[in-house]
Amino acid sequence: MVNYRYLGNSGLKITEITYGNWLTHGSQVENDVATACVHAALDAGITSFDTADVYANGAAETVLGTALAGQRRESLEVFTKVFWTTGPGGANDMGLSRKHIMESINGSLTRLGMDYVDLYQAHRFDHATPLEETMQAFADVVRQGKALYIGVSEWTADQIRQGQALARDLGFRLISSQPQYSMLWRVIEDEVVPASQEQGLSQIVWSPIAQGVLTGKYLPGQPAPAGSRATDEKGGANTIARFLNDDVLTRVQKLRPVADELGISLAQLAVAWVLQNQNVAAAIVGASRPEQVQENVKASGVVIPAELMTAIDEALGDVVERDASLTAKSSPASR
């Protein structure tokens, strides 16, 4: 079964393997398969589920809500997000304005078929809206009981500090950060993680397997496997492109001896690796088949000895991205 970890300096426990439905539900896979994946997650002991209003323009939330219908609500931890364009893309259908936040939480709850979400996250930082307006809206969402906790996604260290200061003044706290993080993408380590530790947040990381590259199925000099994310024209191919070069793929293959020594797969090694970071509360994993969920949960509880962590660093060498400035670049300068 999957281990639990506390989320930030809160009393909320979440499963350290969290099921997410970005790029899959309402898009890549049929609804019956998506439901089977959610049920496989539940059967494996996962009780934490991550989605967003922008995923498949709301369809992902609907699919997840339907798949979870009939489960004891109190036994689940459900996360969603707000920022990116939803609906028809009108002038106020994006960002962290009070209008968009208040309308978006209502839309998300309707699609999920729930009275509240456990965690409501700012999907990016909004440079066009005063931060005071955003944080006041989140405070009101919490007071209305529509979200129990508030988090952020891809915020810089300074943005986290500024947001937390306002949150405290308004009587609530930010408890989580949701950044991209993997063996290959470590841009949060120098600034975001220290700021989060200082401010009482922990990480719920996305793409711990680097969009599938760390499974080892992409080989240098070879075409991408049929049906893989790299061949998905609905968006998957764009997200994985940065990792698909022979230098990266060659170095990923050098991780096989480490995985073999631990008796786990490369994918399990990748998920276990992010969980070695004590500021990481959970790794989000997706799936297009129930078997993928069953395999990924085996990373829970795996301890990677220090000498093997060093071996991983040596195998990957300089293909690892560490530039802290890339977090800021993930939020659009205007909307």
Active site (catalytic) residues: 55
Of 95, 82, 94, whose CA–CA distance to 123 is shortest? 82
Token pair of 281 as six digits:
């509360």
282 φ, ψ (degrees, to nearest 5): -160, 150
d(Cα 280, Cα 186) in Å, to the nearest integer? 12
C-alpha 119/C-alpha 173 separation (Å) is 12
What is the spatial distance between Cα 212 and Cα 217, in angstroms, rounded to a whole number?
A: 8
- Report the alpha-carbon distance of residue 190 to residue 258 in Å, rounded: 25
DSSP 129-167: S-HHHHHHHHHHHHHTTSEEEEEESS--HHHHHHHHHHH
